[in-house]
Amino acid sequence: MMWKILLYGVAITITISIGYVYTCNEAVCGSVVSKCLLTQSCNCDLKNCTCCKDCFNCLSYLFSECCSCVDKCPSNSNPNVKRPGIVESYVEDFAEPVPGLFQALTEQQDDQNRWISTTFPVDFDISQYLPKKEIKIHMQTNEQDVTPKKDVLTLNCTVAFMSQCMSNSKCKSTCTTMGASSYRWFHDACCECVGHNCINYGINESRCKDCPLLNPPDDEDLEDEDQEPDYPDDDLDAQEEID
C-alpha cells in the first residue's frame, strides 16, 4: 500500500514539474502568439508538423519562449525531437538605471558589433494596479461608439546580447554603464543587458554572437579579464634602475 502512495506522489510531482516548465508566458508571448494564431501559422499537430516551419518563422526569436503557447514545444519523452537548449543563468536588478541612455545605445545597430539588440512587445496586465471597480450608469446616444477597454498595456522590451564571452562581474559592469535596468549572465559566459520595459529579465536563452566558445576558458581565466595585467619585465627594469 505504501509503495502505491509513494508512486502516486512521484507521478503528481513529475506532472506538476512538466506543467511548470511548459507554462505559457502570456506577458512576453501574447502579441506574437495572437498574430500567429490569426495567420494560422501554427495550426497543425506536433506529431505531423506540416506547419512547424511557418510557426517557427512566425514566432521568430521568441520561439523558445512561446512554443508552449501553441503546443509546439518538443517533449522530453520524444527522442526524435530536441528542445532548444536552456542554459542556467544569474539575474540581478540595478538600483539606478538610465533608460534614455540604454535606448539611445540599442535603438540602432552598434557600429563596432559589440552587441546585438532585440526588441519585442510585452503585454502588461494593468488590472491589478487599477482601483476597485465601481458601478456607474452613463447615458449615451445611439450615434456614440462604444469601444471596450482592455486592461492590457503593450510596451516594447529591448535587450542587448554582448557578442563576446565575459565574466559575471564584467557583464554587470558593462550593462551598468549602458544604463540597463537589469542583466542576465548565462553560465556559458553569454551576457544579456535588459531594458526597463522588460519582465522576467528579458529572454531566457543564450544568444550571444561569438559565445559560447568551442573551448570555453576556465572561470579563473574569465575573472582575470577584470584585473589589470601584470608586467613583470617592466617591474624588473624599474628595480634595476633603482639599483
* Angle of the 26-38 helix axis to the 52-59 helix axis, nearest 10: 130
Q: Do 66 and 38 belong to one domain? A: yes
**Tens-place pLDDT, residues 61-87:** 777 778 888 887 765 434 344 444 457
170-190 b/e (C-beta count within 10 Å ≥ 16 → b): bbbebbbebbbbbbbbbebbb
**Domain total for the chain?**
2
Report the DSSP pairing between strands 115-125 and 182-186.
Answer: unpaired
**Tens-place pLDDT, residues 9-65:** 444 333 333 333 446 877 788 888 899 999 998 888 777 778 877 887 888 777 777
Q: What is the pLDDT of residue 215?
A: 52
Is 144 inside a domain boundary? no
Better-predicted residue by pLDDT, 72 or 108: 108
Is 46 inside a domain boundary? yes
Confidence of residue 229 (pLDDT cuts 50, 70, 90): very low
Q: Do 38 and 124 belong to one domain? A: no
3-state secondary structure of 20: helix
Average pLDDT, the chain: 73
Place of cell 534614455: 100
**Cα–Cα distance for residue pair 223/169, rounded to 1 Å:** 8
For every residue of 86-148, DSSP letters joined together read ---EEEEE-SS--HHHHHHHHSS--TT-SEEEEEEEEEEEGGGGSPPP--------TTS----
Place of cell 553569454: 190
The percent of residues above 90 in pLDDT, for the chain, comes to: 31
Is 13 inside a domain boundary? no
Highest mean pLDDT out of 21-30, 111-120, 142-151, 222-231:
111-120
Q: Is 120 exposed, middle or buried (0-12, 13-18, 19+ CB in 10 A)?
A: buried
Q: Do 66 and 98 belong to one domain? A: no
Q: Note down the domain range covering 162.
A: 89-129+151-224
3-state secondary structure of 234: helix
The stretch 116-140 carries a mean pLDDT of 71
Q: Residue type at 13?
A: T
Q: Do 188 and 218 belong to one domain? A: yes
Q: Do 120 and 196 belong to one domain? A: yes
Q: Do 116 and 44 belong to one domain? A: no
Q: What is the pLDDT of residue 69?
A: 87
Q: What is the pLDDT of residue 6?
A: 47
